[in-house]
Structure 1
Amino acid sequence: MPTEYLVLLSFYGLLSLVIFCFYGVDKFAAIRGKQRIRESTLHILSLVGGWPGAMLGQAVFRHKTKKLRFLVVFWLTIMVNLVCLAGVVFLTY
């Protein structure tokens, strides 16, 4: 496996871990009525590659799973990310 792909996988993994933690922090802030993480922050992190961790965070913490507007934007960020990822892989192959 080329080094570029390992770097890309590491980036996705690290960003996924970060956003997974963000979902947990935001869920517990919501429960306690504390200051929340902005939805735009969650979307940006998903857009740049953290969406696997976001999906896991939604499932584990049962957070942001019923808000339709959020979910529509979330799935759009995944689609945009995958299209960009396919472009990068295509251009480097």
Structure 2
Amino acid sequence: MNTVLYYSVANLICFALFAWDKWAARTQQRRIAEFNLHLSCLLGGALGALIAQQLLRHKTKKFLFTLIIYLSIALHSILIIAISNEPSLLHYALS
């Protein structure tokens, strides 16, 4: 349950960051640093980023953004599968 909550919050935050950055780009306001957008993807918000990217048409022409989003989704999918199949795997990885 904690995993579901974590990913739900991470994806909502990441979606909100992309939406805010899109708004800021349109209104000539201060933008969110690309590093922070990348980091939010890598911390578990990649699905929210992908949805925001497609829905808002934001950062769609930047190959690096799309690559990081898909790599983050793959990484977290593997992590979730590994943890759900072998809970002690996480224990060994963190030791």
TM over 0.5: yes
Contact 1:43 1:77 in 2 (8 A): no
How many residue pairs were aligned?
A: 88
Q: 2:42 aligns with which of 33, 40, 47?
A: 47
How many angstroms apart in 1 are the aligned matches of 2:35 and 2:83?
24
Is 1:59 paired with 2:54?
yes
Letter in 2 for 1:50: G
Q: Which of structures 1 and 2 has the larger relative contact order (alpha carbons within 8 angstroms, sep 6+)? A: 1
Could you say which residue in structure 1 is the equivalent of 2:91? none
User: CA offsets per residue over residues 33-91 of structure 1, 9 Å max, x none?
Assistant: 22211222122221221122111111221111111122112212222222222222222
**TM-score, normalization: structure 1?**
0.81
Could you say which residue in structure 2 is the equivalent of 1:3? none
Quote the RMSD (CA, aligned, Å): 1.7
**TM-score, normalization: structure 2?**
0.79
State the 1:32 CA deviation.
1.8
Q: Which runs of 5+ in 2 are unaligned?
A: 89-95
Identity %: 31
